[in-house]
A and B are shown apart, each in its own frame.
Chain A
Amino acid sequence: MKARAEALPTQEMLINMGPQHPSTHGVLRVILRTDGEVVVNARPDVGYLHRALEKIGERVTYAQFMPFTDRLDYLASMNCNAAWAWTVEKLAGIEVPERAEYIRVIVCELNRISSHLIAFGSFTADMGAFTPFLYAIRERERINDLFEDICGNRLTYNYVRIGGVSADLPDRFLEKTKEFLDYFEPKIPEYNKLISYNKIFVHRLANVAAISGGEAVAYGLTGPNLRGSGVSFDLRRSEPYSVYPKLDFDVCVGTGERGTVGDCFDRYMVRINEMRESVKILRQAIAQIPGGPVMAKVPRAFKPPVGEVYFRAENPRGETGIYLISDGTVNPYRLKLRAPSFVTMNIFEKVTKGLMIADIVAVIGSFDIILPEIDR
């Protein structure tokens, strides 16, 4: 036995996972140092998609930056659009018509569902179950159709404007959305039956990379990743913006249902439950939406007053914060995009120590990162 152990090479091995790897959700490179199949150290290397969006932002006008926010988190473009608009409106003190705010909330929540569907689908696919991905794409297709009705685009919408939205809702949009909700809501328990409580799936996720609440806060995790650790914090509730105070919903948190609080399974489950909450919000918003204009009066050569503002919005991947400095000209002086996935990657090296290589895939999937947002 001893002789055999000596014959086997036992030194640590350096492996490149990515930048082209099916489970890294884009061009993420992880430099793995492994001892057999155990990860000694996993260091993320990001920046492959860096486009200097912040520098571009200093050269375009406030309105012109809107399409660039589409490319920030392309699975939740509406949310990024709206976050930018809310930031600028907060800086300039623009009053947005109520109908426009409701429309924004409707498209944001639809986009949250579609983003969580991708998170659910790709995560389960990473874990070796391909069917749920097809289900997720099937449902997401209907949301894409709705968005196509609204603005003609299916991925990068550029729909929200500073002061409102680019166009009022098309005919029958609210009915179609309602039809979609009636169709979609029963699908969530179906997903749970199909995969969520599957024994193999649970075994892959439970007790893997558990993050305590305190740790999650200290490392700046936000959104479902923070709530997965049992911290009940949702910006829509804690720092309400837009018309969210008028809407009733529950903040979903991880409970350690199948293992430890804050493990991969909890983060996964928070997203599944949040889709149901989004349906709830959408139903209320559809019932409450008033008539009226959808655009405030914003001058063409828009110059906000000198000042600095930090606004953050609850996006599907967490807190998208924008630190905006205006010097009173038509261009932003400085805009910093605080992308949730970027900050989340900070904890990656810490939580992956001592895991198996296959668990790395589970961790990446459970964080639901998106690379264009990390690299900006």
Chain B
Amino acid sequence: MEPKAIFEAVKGKFGEAVVELQEEGFRPAFVVVSPESVREISLFLRDDPAMKFDSLMCLSGVDYKDRFAVAYHLHSLEIGHRIGVKAYLPREAPSLPSVDGVWPAANFQEREAFDLYGIVFPGSKDLRRILLPEDWVGYPLRKDYKYPEFYHGIKV
């Protein structure tokens, strides 16, 4: 299915929760959705017979300076089409439902987004820091991250 058709189908089902289609300059195109509806839309994209997005290729946190985003790159092995789904989040307390119940592959990548961006995924089966030490302060991939001078008394 073409991105446009996928967008129409999701828009028809979820209405207001689907904001726009980012097409120009985006490969693959993104369906922008509201953060609170991410889990329901993911379930629809996975289970609908015309969609069948069984594979979550990549889940990434992004810092757009004025806001955060979580981008999901989906692919359907059976049908062979792909689409991006994106949810924008406010800088203050960014949080959106976990999709690790939809695609188990999400868990480690959500932990990574939590670790490096401080985005919280309520409903995740296991949300802890993954790459950094448990006691690390701050979220390094944020654009306004201040490098610490010391870590446990060792100069960084």
Task: Please give the residue numbers on chain A whose beta carbons come within 8 Å of chain B beta carbons, in ascending order.
Answer: 46-47, 50, 52, 54-55, 90-91, 214, 217-220, 231, 233, 238, 305-310, 312, 319, 321, 323, 325, 334, 336, 338, 342-343, 345-347, 350, 375-376
Contacts and interface: CB of A to CB of B under 8 A. Distances in A.
A239 B88 CA distance: 29
B105 A321 contact: no
Taking each of B22, B28, B63, B141, which has the highest tally of chain A beta carbons within 10 Å of its own beta carbon?
A: B141
A376 B60 CA distance: 14
A310 B140 contact: no
B107 A346 contact: yes
Contact of B55 (A90, A217, A325): A217
A338 B140 contact: no
Interface string B40-76: 0000000000000011111010110000000101000
Nearest to B109: A343
Contacts, number: 89
B103 interface: yes
B104 A46 contact: no
B25 interface: yes
A143 B35 CA distance: 49
Contacts of B108: 342-343, 345-346
B152 to A, nearest CB: 15
Contact of B105 (A47, A91, A220): A220
Chain B interface helix/strand/loop/mixed: mixed
Q: How large is the interface on B (under 10, 10 to 19, 20 to 34, 35 or more residues)?
A: 20 to 34
B90 to A, nearest CB: 18
Contact of B58 (A50, A55, A310): A310
B24 to A, nearest CB: 8
Interface of B: 22, 25-28, 30, 54-58, 60, 62-63, 71, 73, 77, 80, 84, 103-105, 107-109, 112, 116, 129-133, 140-141
B25 to A, nearest CB: 4
Contacts of B57: 220, 310, 312, 319, 321, 338
B80 to A, nearest CB: 7
B60 A218 contact: no
A220 B25 contact: no
A319 B103 CA distance: 17
B140 A55 contact: yes
Contact of A217 (B58, B77, B112): B77
Which of B25, B54, B84 has most chain A Cβ within 10 Å? B25
Contact of B141 (A46, A54, A219, A306): A54
9 contacts: A47-B131, A47-B132, A90-B27, A217-B55, A218-B55, A305-B25, A309-B26, A321-B58, A323-B60
A91 to B, nearest CB: 8
Given A47-B130, A54-B141, A346 B58 contact: no
B43 to A, nearest CB: 13
